[in-house]
Amino acid sequence: MKKPQLKKIDTLFENRYVSVYDLCYEDGRHYYDASRRKKEDLVAAADKPQLPDAVSAFVILRCPDGQERLLLFHEYRYPTGQYVLSIPSGLIDAADRDSEDPAMHAILRELREETGLVLKEGDRAELISPFVFCTPGLSDESTALIAVHAVLDENHHLSQSGAEGSEVFDGFQLVTRTEAEEILKRGTDDAGIPYPLVTWAAMMYFLREFK
């Protein structure tokens, strides 16, 4: 399949957090891209996929009662103005990029910061997808998906005290497969608030894995 030819990229706005680019595929037609990336690193101009911007984890815990539960938590998302049902996620930073496996290095750090979990012998983390796009149009934001299986010991307490910067959390929700099905059917959390696509994907993975 022949793809449209990118003719030029103009920078419309740029700061340390996000930039807006005009992707010109045809004269007189404009397609706008809001991106964390610098102009030279844009996915639209790359010959092949690069590292994702972020990493997200589907964390399945075997709890002290022997039942498996999916780890979710309530995280304040500023663009929505709400606490939404989320999963451990975070940007891949410079230190992660210098490691042998940037996505894995990043998610292990995010787990420590956002949940207090440190994987031990017998726990495992495996890559599901190295690069998926998060939005359908205006942004090229992307994430890697990693599944984490861990045993939650009786003496281990989940903690969000390691959150950094502007991150704001409001407790955990460990859901069974029956509860995950109910949330999926309802399309919202218990308070009637919609949840992100990656949370939907985590619940679908949790249910699929059981089957």
Whole-prediction pTM value? Answer: 0.91
CB half-sphere exposure, 170, CA atoms < 13 A: 8
Q: Is the dihedral of CA 68, 145, 107, 136 positive or negative?
A: negative
Reported as a pLDDT band with limits 50, 70 and 90, residue 210 is low
Reading the block at residue 49, the tokens are 């996929």
Q: What is the pLDDT of residues 34-73, one digit of tens each?
A: 999 999 899 998 887 789 999 999 999 999 999 999 999 9
For residues 155-176, give the mean pLDDT: 87
Average pLDDT, the chain: 92
**Pairing state of beta strands 68-77 and 89-91?**
unpaired
**What architecture does CATH give domain 54-210?**
Alpha-Beta Complex (3.90)
Residue ranges per structural domain of the chain: 8-45, 54-210
Q: What is the pLDDT of residues 11-44, one digit of tens each?
A: 999 999 999 999 999 888 889 999 999 998 999 9
